[in-house]
């Protein structure tokens, strides 16, 4: 079937706007728009069927008149035939021709307070639009076509880009503008900012991330003094405070390369982390200034260092690598009975490159899968403090439960220091003093 025959058959059955008619033949030519393509097809048909006006050609011209072709209307009027009133586009209900500029004027004030260089338009349309278009394609065997959502996205996106001198980015836009052309609703989705750093923690009552109250699940109750939190501060909240002031973001999320217990200090060069700023309004900030302000705000609790821009990919690498790192801990171990020098030497000798089997500790079994993890204790270096206390520097795999390596956790960790020397042992204090990884070299 020729193009003009198929186009006439479509228009005799359904009134289509220039955009929607042009889309049905969008792959037939390049260098033009669907709107111009549709208008050109209608004008061509009007000229073609105006050369010899018969009862049949009048019906075709009236179909073109219903599709709002001005040339067809003028031809019918000049030849004293009835002009058909324009009908609403069967597919898009004239949203492409009538709503687009209004939608743009709705979008502009919504995004004026956001800093971005790249964007993407997303369109939400009623399923009835797609069903009508699918029916038309099947009825007339239309295969050379572009989808309605693509037309909306390009039309709105092109105009927004012109207004703001911004670029469309299909891979990783800084802002996605989701629109509903019928209801004029607008939803903004902002790309997070990612900041790499390392933190050190100096107090033993500070969790790494927010800790909601278990009783009220964060809603607020008498037990948590209506704060919704079990602990009022965390490394995450201290790190996010100044960042949110600069970026006007919604919240910060701290993604650490592993985590220390709440009662453990994090010393040495610090723990690598990526701070994700969710829904930032400002994207250009001075990271040196942020690092300085964060350290002033959190003085005595944490400090941060090595700030630089990061990415979601690096975040994933950091999280996945946490258990592949080697970590060094300083521990204060207390024994139920006095420990001899011989026993101390026995500990040091035994735990050299020693494989360890650790079943999920009882203290975290409510939130961790019950697994047996295979780790390695590379070394344990001991210094006596008194008859029942030693300081031990333990070097082991990341993800190793050090407290259980000491106590044995009712034989859930094997071997353990307590098992090897036959004396009940307990970790009284724990400090992370070194994390050996490659991220500080990035």
Using DSSP, how many helices (H) and how many strands (E) does the chain show?
14, 14
pLDDT at 440: 47
Phi-psi region of 270 (alpha: psi -120 to 50; beta: other; left: phi over 0): left
pLDDT at 223: 80
What's the mean pLDDT when you consider all of the chain? 92
pLDDT at 437: 72
User: Tens digit of pLDDT for each residue in 275-322?
Assistant: 999 999 999 999 999 999 999 999 999 999 999 999 999 999 998 887
Domains 95-190 and 325-441 share a fold: no
CATH architecture of 193-322: 2-Layer Sandwich (3.30)
Question: How many C-alpha atoms does 415 have within 13 Å on its Cβ side?
Answer: 14
Q: How far apart (Å, rounded) are the C-alpha atoms in residues 243 and 273?
A: 14
pLDDT at 216: 84
Range with the lowest mean pLDDT among 135-139, 217-221, 379-383? Answer: 217-221
User: Tens digit of pLDDT for each residue in 226-252?
Assistant: 888 888 899 999 999 999 999 999 999
Q: How far apart (Å, rounded) are the C-alpha atoms in residues 268 and 433?
A: 5
Asked if residue 212 has pLDDT above 60, the reply is yes
pLDDT at 1: 58
pLDDT at 439: 54
Select the CATH number that applies to the domain covering 325-441 from these four: 3.30.70.3190, 3.40.50.2300, 3.90.920.20, 3.40.50.12280. 3.30.70.3190
**Better pLDDT: 268 or 437:** 268
- The pLDDT > 90 percentage for the chain reads 77
pLDDT at 322: 77
- Six-digit token string for 22: 């042009």
Q: How far apart (Å, rounded) are the C-alpha atoms in residues 306 and 287?
A: 9
Let me know: does 210 contact 229? Beta carbons within 8 Å.
yes
Let me know: does 258 contact 432? Beta carbons within 8 Å.
no
CB neighbourhood size of 74 (10 A): 14
Domain ranges of the chain: 3-78, 95-190, 193-322, 325-441
pLDDT at 227: 83
Asked if residue 142 has pLDDT above 90, the reply is no
**Better pLDDT: 225 or 409:** 409
User: Tens digit of pLDDT for each residue in 326-378?
Assistant: 999 999 999 999 999 999 999 999 999 999 999 999 998 877 888 999 999 99
pLDDT mean over 144-162: 88
pLDDT at 176: 97
Residues whose CB falls within 8 Å of the CB of residue 404, separated by 6 or more in sequence, listed in order: 358, 361, 412, 413, 416
Q: How far apart (Å, rounded) are the C-alpha atoms in residues 92 and 113?
A: 31
**Better pLDDT: 97 or 65:** 65
In the CATH scheme, what is the homologous superfamily, with its name and number, of domain 95-190?
Answer: THUMP superfamily (3.30.2300.10)
Residues whose CB falls within 8 Å of the CB of residue 265, separated by 6 or more in sequence, listed in order: 201, 202, 203, 204, 430, 431, 432
Which residues does the annotation mark as catalytic?
261
Partners of residue 308 on adjacent β-strands: 196
CA-closest candidate to residue 90, choices 137, 123, 49: 137
pLDDT band at residue 442 under the 50/70/90 scheme: very low
Partners of residue 317 on adjacent β-strands: none
**Better pLDDT: 291 or 155:** 291
User: Tens digit of pLDDT for each residue in 27-55?
Assistant: 877 788 999 999 999 999 999 999 888 88
Let me know: does 140 contact 9? Beta carbons within 8 Å.
yes
- Six-digit token string for 97: 């021709």
């Amino acid at each position: 079937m020729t193009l003009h025959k198929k186009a006439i058959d479509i228009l005799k059955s359904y009134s289509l706007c220039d955009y929607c008619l042009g889309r049905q033949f969008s792959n037939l030519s390049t260098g033009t728009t669907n709107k111009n393509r549709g208008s050109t097809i209608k004008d061509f048909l009007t000229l073609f069927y105006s050369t010899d006006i018969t009862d049949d050609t009048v019906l075709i011209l009236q179909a073109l008149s219903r599709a709002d072709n001005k040339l067809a209307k003028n031809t019918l009027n000049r030849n004293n035939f009835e002009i058909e009133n324009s009908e609403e586009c069967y597919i898009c209900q004239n949203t492409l021709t009538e709503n687009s500029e209004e939608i743009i004027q709705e979008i502009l004030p919504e995004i004026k307070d956001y800093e971005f260089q790249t964007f993407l338009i997303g369109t939400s349309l009623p399923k009835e639009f797609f069903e009508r278009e699918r029916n038309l394609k099947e009825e007339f065997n239309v295969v050379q076509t572009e989808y309605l959502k693509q037309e909306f996205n390009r039309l709105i996106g092109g105009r927004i880009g012109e207004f703001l001198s911004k670029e469309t980015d299909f891979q990783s836009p800084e802002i996605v503008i989701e629109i509903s052309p019928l209801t004029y609703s607008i939803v903004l989705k902002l790309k997070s900012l990612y900041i790499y750093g390392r933190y050190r923690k100096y107090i033993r009552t500070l969790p790494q991330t927010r800790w909601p109250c278990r009783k009220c699940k964060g809603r607020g109750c008498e037990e948590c003094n209506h704060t919704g939190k079990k602990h009022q501060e965390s490394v995450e909240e201290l790190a996010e405070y100044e960042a949110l002031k600069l970026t006007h973001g919604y919240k910060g999320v701290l993604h650490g390369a592993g985590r220390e217990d709440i009662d453990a200090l994090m010393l040495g060069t610090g723990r690598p982390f990526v701070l994700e700023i969710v829904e930032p309004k400002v994207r250009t900030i001075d990271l040196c200034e942020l690092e300085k302000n964060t350290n002033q705000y959190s003085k005595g609790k944490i400090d941060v260092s090595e700030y630089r821009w990061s990415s979601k990919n690096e975040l994933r690498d950091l999280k996945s690598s946490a258990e592949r790192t080697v970590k060094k801990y300083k521990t204060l171990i207390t024994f139920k009975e006095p420990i001899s020098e011989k026993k101390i030497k026995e500990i040091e000798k035994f735990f050299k490159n020693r494989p360890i089997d650790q079943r999920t500790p009882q203290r975290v079994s409510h939130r961790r899968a019950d697994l047996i993890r295979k780790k390695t204790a590379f070394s344990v270096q001991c210094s006596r403090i008194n008859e029942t206390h030693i300081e031990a520097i333990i070097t082991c795999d990341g993800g190793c439960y050090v407290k259980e390596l000491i106590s044995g956790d009712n034989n859930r960790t094997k071997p353990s220091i307590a098992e090897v020397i036959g004396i009940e042992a307990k970790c009284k204090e724990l400090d992370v003093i070194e994390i050996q990884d490659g991220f500080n070299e990035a």
